[in-house]
Amino acid sequence: MSALSDPQDVVTALFQDIKAGRIDDAWARFGQRHRSMIPRERLAGLVDNLPVLRDHVDLEVRRVGSSGSPVPVHAKLTSASGEATKVSFYLGEEGHGWAIDAMHFDVRQDFPSANGAGLKARGGLCNSRREGARFEVGCGLSVYGFAHPPPGAQTRTSSEEPPLFCEGKLRVDCEVTGPDGQKVEALSRSATEREAPDLEVTDPGECRDKGWTGVCDVAMSPDFPPGQYTLRTHVTDAVTGATAMQVLARWVYQ
């Protein structure tokens, strides 16, 4: 395998090697530092658990910037179903050519909001951080439509009457599924009851506008196999029993 003088060509060659089943050649495209953190067997496992790396029907590779090192290169892989996977590479000079110093997969978080019997769950901003082989992701969550006025409450007709309060109780379960589609118990948080703070209102109908916000977070280490992971939340209104499931994020762990 000869050294390549263009960083963009290195990334293109990487995916050509993977598509042809040449894992040794693909692994050799990475620099020494990256190979010390991601063994050859782990790259092979990533390819096995993320078929789009090998079976993509379209590949776009684009160099970002014209000078400096490391050089960023972005790639987009499109599967037969039309789903896109975006990968960012950083390359540095090594020997007589270029080698991949880092490879990062984008965290997908553009999932539609979920509704269930009046209960609404919506994913918020996700923040991710990588430090060596450790990966952390935390996603915001907003829930609406769970609050109800106290039993028998009536619309307040004057400021002299006692105030009304919205009351709500939620059960929030943060669940992570792994490359095999099964729940990863070590990364999931069992349902915990969350008190929704009281909100004084003048009309019981206003309770429906009240919302609760929280965070689901995950921290991963090399103990977990490489591949695609999905973070979702299951929310239950403990008062009415209404439920909603919301996908918050999907990412690839190397």
Domain of residue 150 covers 114-253
Indicate the SS3 state at residue 242: coil
The token pair at 113 is 């909001």
- Tell whether the model's pLDDT for residue 61 goes beyond 90: yes
* 126 and 24 assigned to the same domain: no
pTM of the model: 0.78
In this structure, what CATH number is given to the domain that contains residue 75?
Answer: 3.10.450.100
Q: 33 and 73: one domain?
A: yes
Which backbone phi and psi does 220 adopt, to 5 degrees? Answer: -120, 150
The number of domains in the chain is 2
Q: Please check whether residue 34 lies inside any domain of the structure.
A: yes
Are residue 31 and residue 92 in the same domain, yes or no?
Answer: yes
Task: Name the domain boundary from 71, 86, 105.
Answer: 105
Residues 122 and 246 in one domain: yes
- Those residues whose C-beta lies under 8 Å from the C-beta of residue 112, and which sit 6 or more positions away, are none
- pLDDT (tens digit per residue) in 135-191: 899 999 888 877 555 554 545 555 666 655 556 678 888 999 999 999 999 999 876
Please check whether residues 247 and 154 belong to one and the same domain. Answer: yes
| Residue 1 included in any domain | no
Q: Which two tokens stand for residue 9?
A: 């060509």
* 53, 67, 77, 78 from 20: Cα distances, Å: 11, 31, 16, 17
Last residue of a domain, one of 105, 136, 169: 105
User: Which secondary structure element, helix H or strand E, spans residue 48, and what is its range?
Assistant: helix 40-49
- Residue ending a domain, choose from 105, 131, 153: 105
